[in-house]
Structure 1
Amino acid sequence: MNPQLALGAMLFGTAQDKRRSFEILDRFVDAGGVWIDTANCYAFWADPTGFGGQSETVLGRWLARRPGVRDRVRISTKVGCEPTEAGRFPETAEGLSAGVIKRGIEGSLRRLGTDHIELYWAHKPDAATPLEETVAAFDELVSAGTVGRLGCSNYPVWQIERARQIARARGGAGFTAVQQHHTYLQPRPATRPLVSHRFGMVTDEVIHYLEHHPDIALWAYTPLLSGRYTRPDRPLPEEYDHRGTARRLATLDEIAAETGTNRNRVVLAWLTGGNPAATPIVGVSTVEQLDEAFAGVSLELSAEQRERLDSAV
């Protein structure tokens, strides 16, 4: 088993057709992969109807056609971002009320063809719903055995802690995983890179919080910047246009040369061996890219190499 890497299934059923999705999923399991990450809203922006559910549907069909494979994988899915009106996101995002969470898990279970989810995420904060209501609704799913663990994505640190305090006071289940955008390069302060939401970046504050709360796992989305580390046709966005980026890329290249690998593999090795260690969520379009990702999380960096990567600023 290799639980260090999560397979991002965001585009299964839209940009990736069923045949290609099944091919990637089969290779993932054959290579020892465990975690598959999706959401009930994936991928509404890629579908003419303007609504999601395609990714979970394809996963459900794959699970149905692979007897016994459900016992070998763990499903991570999310609720909170599905639009309620086509073409109007984020202003009509479903939110995290008790009713939405109940309907959300019922829909996800139906599409996935399963009776439980190992990890269920609040996809993004919902300012319109009291945090107490959201926490209680998630706790009910854990108490019922429908959900194993709870996580939050794109949350500010204060709200993560407040939600956990509410759960503790209730004697219920709280968030034990955080999913944010995390990678080796660092954007300029006060910028929002790529698809990151307002509080979706792993910052020094997030790292500090996780260092003092070792029961919380860190999941990293878009860790390879959608191919920008290695593809000349995909230049880095302007928020990475500063001297620190040049120094960190040069260090990446040094370590890649020393290990006989490339930037992508070194980034994944840096993430999985960090403090705190992260579970990278990697979306791929070919089995070759998936094999590359597994090679990255299997790469061992020396303490000296890691120190050089950390100190390049």
Structure 2
Amino acid sequence: MSGMDVRQPQVVLGTIDFGTRVTPERAFAVLDSFVAGGGAWLDTANCYSFWNDPDGMGGASERVIGDWLRSRPGARDTVRIATKVRHNPLVPHSPESAEGLSARAVHAGMEGSLRRLGVDHVDLFWAHAEDRTVPLEETVDAFGELVAKGTALRVGAANHAAWRVERARSLARERGVEPWTSLQLRHSLAQPRPLTPVAEGGHRMLAADDLDLARSEGLAVWSYTSLLWGSYVRADKPLPPTYDHPGTTRVLTVLEDVADELSATRNQVVLAWLMHQGIDPIVGASGVEQIEEALAARRVRLTDTHVARFAAAR
């Protein structure tokens, strides 16, 4: 799908809980396993995870990745790092004080991320969510300046409406700066009831308009909450009430059947389904066995018939 990065879709390691719910020692083990298994992309954000940090500020995930990079000579040449700006609070425990997407916030966010990561550039820098209090031109220019300086190799938009991304890309072309070339949105096999808001604040679901834009413009698409918190495989992690509808029952039945047919886990089939569509799924992992299972999804080969069965069930 991406004309900017010629490769097959791949599993991205989500590091949202590193340094808070996942200890540095466990995070190092996951990172080592991810790289040993051929993984490349790490996804983090400057705000991860202020809501779980006693200090009420973000940065823990980036610091853990930075410590790991320093302890593993050559690791920076092996992995690609994606981080985000927008949601880090300026006042501890105060999400309403989030930095936003002004030019000053974007540049300050990048400086802080580079410092914590201990690197001179990131491979992909995301606008974590919209900030409609700031002129889009200002945000576009700021992201373009980061690419011109070489501190970001690519830039992308997470949790943005498709029309805002296209408008931003048009502005970038007019102003002669690097446009957003990647989208990050929430997506998985099971879907909530149509037009029903999800409980998680700030989450934006992948929609047909997003895929249309990506396919027409050659944009990369990453999905988060790809495995729905483990709900496909864990009885103690039931799907939220918004997923309680007949389509979920049907699609989970097909998922079980396809997993049996392919001798794969349900999680692996979900990840294979996403990659079959050209989407890079982000997978959070707190243990080595979880990331090993996720990476093995690259060997699961879904056919168009399998995908059609899922489409009919939904």
TM-score, scaled to structure 1: 0.95
State the AA in 1 paired with 2:310: L
Aligned equivalents of 2:13 and 2:208: distance in 1?
26
Match 1:142 to one of 141, 147, 150: 147
2:71 pairs with 1:68: no
Q: Could you tell me how far 1:92 is from its partner in structure 2?
A: 1.5
- 1:220 match: secondary structure: strand
Task: Name the SS of the counterpart of 2:212 in structure 1.
Answer: helix
Unaligned runs of 5+ in 2: 1-6
What SS is found at the alignment partner of 1:111? helix
Matched, 1:44 2:44: no
* 2:9–2:275 Cα contact (<8 Å) kept: no
Match of 1:157 among 159, 162, 165: 162
Determine which of 227, 244, 259 is the counterpart of 1:224. Answer: 227
- Where in structure 2 are the equivalents of 1:98-177 lying within 5 Å? 98-177=103-182
Unpaired runs of at least 5, structure 1: none
Equivalent-residue separation in structure 2 for 1:206 and 1:196 (angstroms)? 20
Aligned pairs for 1:240-251 (under 5 A) are 240-251=243-254
**Number of the residue aligned with 2:14:** 8
Q: Deviations over 1:239-276 (max 9, x none)?
A: 111111111111111101111112111100000011xx
Coordinate RMSD, CA, aligned? 1.4
Letter in 1 for 2:234: R
- Measured after TM superposition, the shift of residue 47 of structure 1 is 0.7
**Alignment partner of 1:272 is 2:275:** yes
Contact 1:2/1:34, CA 8 A, preserved across alignment: no
For residues 211 and 70 of structure 2, the distance between their equivalents in structure 1, rounded to whole angstroms, comes to: 39
**CA separation in 2, counterparts of 1:190 and 1:132?**
30
Percentage of matched positions with identical amino acids: 48
- Where 1:212 maps in the other structure, the secondary structure is helix
Higher relative contact order (CA 8 A, sep 6+): 2
Q: Deviations over 1:178-199 (max 9, x none)?
A: 000010011112223353626x
Distance 1:251 1:265, change over 3 A: same
Equivalent residue runs for 1:73-112 within 5 Å: 73-89=79-95, 91-112=96-117
SS in 2 for 1:121: strand
User: Are the equivalent residues in 1 in contact too, given 2:9–2:279 (CA < 8 A)?
Assistant: no
Asked whether the 8 Å contact 1:80–1:93 carries over to 2, the reply is yes
Distance 1:204 1:2, change over 3 A: closer
Shift of 1:71: 0.5
Aligned residues: 308
Task: Look up the match of 2:184.
Answer: 179
Length-normalised TM-score, structure 2:
0.95
Report the alpha carbon displacement of residue 312 of structure 1 after superposing the two structures with TM: 1.5
Residue among 200, 206, 209 paired with 1:202: 206
SS of the equivalent of 1:175 reads coil
Task: Indicate the residue corresponding to 2:260 in structure 1.
Answer: 257
SS in structure 2 opposite 1:4?
Answer: coil
Any idea what SS the aligned residue of 1:59 has? helix
Measure the CA separation in 1 of the matches of 2:122 and 2:171: 23
